[in-house]
């Protein structure tokens, strides 16, 4: 995946802890991108707190 900016993983099921770790390790810019449709940012949808996702 080239860029996760704005992606929302809220309803995604079945990701392993290692998959989540890889996704949560993406850049702060990607994780902090707001999704105006779901009203969440990418990091929050992956279970990160606001501080962790920016």
Whole-number pLDDT of residue 35: 95
Predicted TM-score (pTM) of the model is: 0.80
Nearest to 9 by CA among 19, 28, 18: 19
- Reported as a single tens digit per residue, the pLDDT across 4-44 is 999 999 999 999 999 999 999 999 999 999 999 999 999 99
Whole-number pLDDT of residue 32: 93
> Contact at 8 Å (CB) between 45 and 10?
yes
Whole-number pLDDT of residue 50: 64
Whole-number pLDDT of residue 41: 94
Q: Residue 1's pLDDT band (boundaries 50, 70, 90)?
A: confident
């Amino acid at each position: 995946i080239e860029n996760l900016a704005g992606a929302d993983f809220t309803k995604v099921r079945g990701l392993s802890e290692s998959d989540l770790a890889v996704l949560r390790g993406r850049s702060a810019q990607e994780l902090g991108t707001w999704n105006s449709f779901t009203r969440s940012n990418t990091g929050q949808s992956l279970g990160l707190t606001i501080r962790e996702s920016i």
